Amino acid sequence: MIRKYSTYTYLFYIPTEPSMTIRQLRNYIDGRFEDGATTFDKHSPVDGRLIAQVHEAGRDQVDRAVAAAHRALPAWAGLPVAARTDHLLALADGITRRFDDFLQAEIGDTGKPVGWAGKIDIPRGAANFRVFAELARTLDMESYMTDTPDGRQALNYAYRKPLGVVGVISPWNLPLLLLTWKVAPALAFGNTVIMKPSEVTPSTATLLAEVAHEAGLPAGVLNLAHGFGPDSAGEFMTTHPDIDGITFTGESATGAAIMRAVAPGVKPVSFELGGKNAALVFADADFEAAVDGVTQSVFANCGQVCLCTERVYVERPIYERFVAALAERARALRIGWPMDPATEMGPLVSREHREKVLSYFALARAEGATVVAGGGVPVFGDARDQGAYVEPTIWTGLAEDARCIKEEVFGPVCHVTPFDTEDEAIRLANDTRYGLAAAVWTQNLTRGHRVAQAMKVGLAWVNCWFLRDLRTPFGGSGLSGIGREGGRHSLHFYTEPTNVCIKL
Ligand SMILES: NC(=O)c1ccc[n+]([C@@H]2O[C@H](COP(=O)([O-])OP(=O)(O)OC[C@H]3O[C@@H](n4cnc5c(N)ncnc54)[C@H](O)[C@@H]3O)[C@@H](O)[C@H]2O)c1
Ligand SMILES: O=C/C=C/C=C(\O)C(=O)O
């Protein structure tokens, strides 16, 4: 029996007995849903039960998807911008109309709390289409009036054409958000797309294909190929001679593999990769705001956000007090059923990923960490013990060259280190091969600007975290990625400019 009650605009289901429906997740090629030659299982990270069979696309199906995308490209790119972006608004409307289906699917795949999926993942899935539809309609065109030696002038302008057929390969942590963060601008700027969601979280990509089909998106414009990376749909795409560009979000090592795969074709890539993000807490910070903010930036989505904080540096006068306050918040986090509105942290995305996170819990001990909070696996005494839950964890006492300080864990864990001077804090935060995000907590805004600018990252927040304006450049440097997306930065990746110069 499922007990449900409605609160505000959402229906909350607190499962007392799991639904036994095992969904069939199929590919979407040239406007038709297709089985794969083989299927693979998707299990719930909450209680381990089988929740879907996923149809793996074969190489022939990826080939047909690419061919269909090429056939659809001229008409799609040739649509008036208003007509093309109307299709994006229809996709946004479809996601909104099927909000609960997307909510259930995303939570079923990831185990993330309904409070997070209902406020972040699904709304951003629709918002990404709306924002890029608006942008495509309003972006200016780069042009210059050029003085010429004969005293007259020339007009120079950058005429932008779509890249062509774009491969979108996305990760499992914010599945719908990060898929649509790439699909929306690719479509808005006239490209056609093959999307390859993570094998770990295939459900909302399948729903997106359903919404596209229901909305009458022309066949071949948006295609879906389920599968894995190596020797599966991911690699079939990155090595495909007729895919014109790859936009990828995922691990840095995978980014390197994809770079090698596209190299023979010298194709453009947009990479949003891993991170080992720092938070700097100065003694003059609003203490409670900093504790709240760092609690959120460390433990949100069970620490499975590329922007999450895994290194916290605290000015020494408040260090002990801050560690104690953060540990108290970690221990108080409500770890529970994803559909319970009171749940603040769900499980990790899979048992396999939990093994990786637990290996770092063990490594930290071996490297000499003091485990201030957590460090293990919660025991519920119910079906959740078959899931992938871990305790929110805080370490101190590690040397800055420890592997747990240098390597991305991608779980609900951070290490806290004291510092004495601003220069030391900046040096410590920047001592990483990653370069994605940082957060600075201080009430001295002159220092806030100065320290944020000194961070070798793509995104630096001051007295906030994960506050997003979708027009801003998003991405990182070093092991955290290549390029930026967001606003006009997406235009620059998903289009090729021709500079036209006309003598007047
Ligand atoms: N910078 C960002 O914006 C951002 C956002 C989210 C996640 N991430 C990073 O992603 C990682 C977690 O996601 P993940 O585990 O899904 O990443 P992952 O690299 O394991 O997989 C990402 C996607 O790539 C595919 N893939 C894997 N190997 C491939 C190959 N050789 N060729 C083609 N495709 C391949 C996977 O099937 C999946 O769809 C973390 O490192 C996190 O930091 C970064
Ligand atoms: O896990 C990484 C989160 C990425 C978030 C975005 O790309 C975004 O907010 O647009």
pLDDT tens string 63-119: 999 999 999 999 999 999 999 999 999 999 999 999 999 999 999 999 999 999 999
Ligand 1: does its nearest atom lie under 6 Å from the Cβ of 230? yes
Assess whether pLDDT exceeds 70 at residue 202: yes
Least confident of 11-20, 180-189, 218-227, 366-375: 11-20
Rounded Cα distance between 304 and 291, Å, is 19
Q: Is 275 in the pocket of ligand 1 (CB under 6 A)?
A: yes
Ligand nearest to the CA of 408: 1
Q: 272 catalytic, yes or no?
A: yes
ipTM for the assembly: 0.96
- State the closest ligand 2 atom to the C-alpha of 174, by its place in the atom list counted from 1: 1
- pLDDT at residue 120 tops 50: yes
Q: Is the pLDDT of residue 5 over 90?
A: no
- How far is the C-alpha of 303 from the C-alpha of 392, rounded, in Å? 9
CATH superfamily of 23-273+480-503: Aldehyde Dehydrogenase; Chain A, domain 1 (3.40.605.10)
Shortest-distance atom of ligand 1 to CA 271: 1
Instruction: Output the 3-class SS for 359-400.
Output: HHHHHHHHCCCEEEECCCCCCCCCHHHHCCCCCCEEEECCCC
For the Cβ of 198 lying below 6 angstroms from any atom of ligand 1, the answer is: yes
Q: For a pLDDT cut of 70, what percent of the chain falls above it?
A: 96
Task: Give pTM, 2 decimals.
Answer: 0.96
- Residue 74 CA to ligand 1 center (angstroms) comes to 31
Instruction: Determine whether the shortest distance from the Cβ of 226 to ligand 1 is under 6 A.
Output: no
- Burial, 139: exposed, middle or buried (Cβ in 10 Å; 0-12, 13-18, 19+)? middle
The model's confidence at residue 21, banded by pLDDT at 50, 70 and 90, is confident
Ligand with smallest separation from the Cα of 270? 1
Ligand 1 centroid, distance to 253 Cα (angstroms): 9
Tokens read off for 69 = 């995308």
Per domain, the residue ranges of the chain are: 23-273+480-503, 278-462
The model's pLDDT over 270-303, given as tens digits with 9 standing for 90+, comes to 999 999 999 999 999 999 999 999 999 999 999 9
User: Taking Cα atoms as reference points, which of 190, 209, 207 lies closest to residue 32?
Assistant: 209
What percentage of residues in the chain have a pLDDT greater than 90?
Answer: 96
pLDDT at 17 over 60: no
Instruction: Tell me the average pLDDT across 410-426.
Output: 98
Average pLDDT over every residue of 178-205:
98
pLDDT tens per residue, range 314-340: 999 999 999 999 999 999 999 999 999
Please work out, in degrees rounded to the nearest 5, the angle formed at the alpha carbon of residue 123 by the alpha carbons of 167 and 3. Answer: 120
Q: For 278-462, which CATH class? A: alpha beta
CA angle, residues 268, 221, 270, in degrees to nearest 5: 20
Of 201, 306, 464, 467, the one to substitute when testing ligand 2's pocket (max ligand atoms within 8 A of C-beta) is 306
